Amino acid sequence: MLVYLRVFKESFSFALNALRNNKLRTFLSLLGVTVGIFSIIAVLAAVDSLDRNIKENLAGLDKNTIYLTKFSFGPTDVPRWKRDNFPQTEYDDFEFIRRNVPNIEASAYVIFGGNETIRYQAETVSGVTVTPVSNEIYTIEDFKVEKGRFYSELESETGAPVIVIGANLAENLFDNLNPIGKQIRVYGRKLAVIGVLKKVGAGLGDSPDDRAYVPANFVRRFRNGGVNGLPGAVIIKPKAGVDIGAFEQVLKQKFRAHRGLKAGEDDDFFVNKLAGLVTFIDAIISVLNTIGWIISGFSLLVGGFGIANIMFVSVKERTNLIGIQKSLGAKNRFILFQFLFEAIILAVVGGLVGLFLVWIIAMIMSNFTGDFEFVLSFGNMFLGFMLSTLIGLISGVIPAISASRLDPVEAIRTGM
């Protein structure tokens, strides 16, 4: 054991000497591994961070939640021209479902909100996603109100001019003032702020912290068919313990009858389950990871060739020294380990530099993106370390074997 430790120490000394004596050549060799490890781990860290933020945002929702609308949340075999001719999901559809479909715990009608400008006295915030939605969304999406309250069923049914805003929007409009009861202008009309949602951070799409919610019927009073022609949807949360497959079939049958669709006619709507959306997101994440591996793999390949090249050069330069070592009794495996350790050390140093760069950039990006946090996980760090070690091992094994098989007499003669 002590012999192998001694070999490792000597190999480490050789590697340091190589770094000092051939700075430019070694730097270029390390750069390939650094770029390769940086590329792969940066992609994996970014994709993992995106996946984690999306899953955290969906964590409070029931995965069986259903969105009935004219759009599909995932890939579909229905051609685009046919989908474009599907009728909009209207408030009457929502009322029919609420009255006629059993085993519903909560349902809400939402008009996919557009970007609006909100004003309070001299303060103006542009590009705010204002979502017209019925009051049941409070139960379905498990909103938490920090100040005030969410609008009631009566306010939702009558289309009262009230609004609930996100935490960031409240801060931008009112600063340190209490927003409750204040009148703000949206859609060119005055609405009373009755609630401020608890800050939740970044989410899927726009953060709820930057959104506003108004009763859908308030918007329907002056804009028929939604907001600027934007589509609507019925959001349905089935009761706990219900057979989702059977529930979905009943929902389709009743809604087809409501739409007047005959047997054999295709559905003119989509029943999108949140679980299906999560599966679709997982598929996208998997594709992003695969693309990242393919692109970054070329960088790792170049880095591996760089390490192999410098090792072949090192064997050539130290041929005379190898001959002397073997003539003094050094075994083939000691020569093999010397060059193999040197290749691994070069690769690991390059990999550690790449990981350090990813860590620095992750910290910077997290500070700039606010609530969205880029995280370099221990798993990705360990993967980067193992990859760099593997690259060093593969790149150095052939030069190390060629060095260990040199004839001592020929090696000394060649060196002279």
Residue 228: per-residue pLDDT: 47
pLDDT in tens, 49-75: 777 776 666 655 667 788 888 888 777
Asked if residues 111 and 230 have their Cβ atoms less than 8 Å apart, the reply is yes
Residue 4: per-residue pLDDT: 63
Per-residue pLDDT for 320 more than 80? no
User: Quick one: what percent of the chain has pLDDT higher than 90?
Assistant: 6
Range of 101-115, 290-304, 306-320, 336-350 with top mean pLDDT? 101-115
Confidence class for position 90, pLDDT limits 50, 70, 90: confident
CB atoms within 10 A of CB 263: 5
Residue 10: per-residue pLDDT: 67
Cα 256 to Cα 271: distance, rounded to the nearest angstrom = 12
Residue 16: per-residue pLDDT: 66
List residues bridging with 272 in a β-sheet: 67
Q: Mean pLDDT score of the chain, rounded to an integer? A: 79
Residue 295: per-residue pLDDT: 74
Cα 338 to Cα 23: distance, rounded to the nearest angstrom = 20
State the distance between the two ends of the chain, measured CA to CA, in whole angstroms.
34
Residue 161: per-residue pLDDT: 92
**Kind plus residue range of the DSSP H or E element containing 129:** strand 123-132
Output 38 or 204, whichever has higher pLDDT.
Answer: 38
The whole-number average pLDDT for the span 372-396 is: 77
DSSP per residue, 27-50: HHHHHHHHHHHHHHHHHHHHHHHH
Secondary structure tally for the chain: helices H, strands E: 14, 11
Rg of the chain's alpha carbons, rounded to an integer?
32
Burial class (CB in 10 A: 0-12, 13-18, 19+), 192: middle
Confidence class for position 162, pLDDT limits 50, 70, 90: very high
Residue 288: per-residue pLDDT: 76
pLDDT in tens, 104-144: 888 999 988 678 888 888 888 888 888 899 999 888 887 78
pLDDT in tens, 361-374: 877 776 766 556 67
The whole-number average pLDDT for the span 378-395 is: 80
Comparing 72-86, 139-153, 193-207, the range with the smallest average pLDDT is 193-207
List, edge to edge, every strand of the sheet that includes 232-238.
104-111, 232-238, 66-69, 270-273
Sign of CA dihedral 281, 287, 292, 297: positive
Residue 128: per-residue pLDDT: 85
The whole-number average pLDDT for the span 282-309 is: 76
Residue 226: per-residue pLDDT: 45
Structure letter (DSSP) for residue 114: -
Per-residue pLDDT for 403 more than 60? yes
Confidence class for position 346, pLDDT limits 50, 70, 90: confident
Per-residue pLDDT for 227 more than 50? no
Strands 115-120, 123-132: pairing is antiparallel
Strands 232-238, 66-69: pairing is antiparallel
Nearest to 385 by CA among 19, 56, 40, 146: 40
Residue 322: per-residue pLDDT: 67
Sign of CA dihedral 287, 288, 289, 290: positive
How many angstroms from the chain centroid is the CA of residue 21?
Answer: 44
Per-residue pLDDT for 202 more than 60? no
User: Quick one: what percent of the chain has pLDDT higher than 70?
Assistant: 79
How many angstroms from the chain centroid is the CA of residue 336?
Answer: 43
Residue 213: per-residue pLDDT: 92
Residue 2: per-residue pLDDT: 66
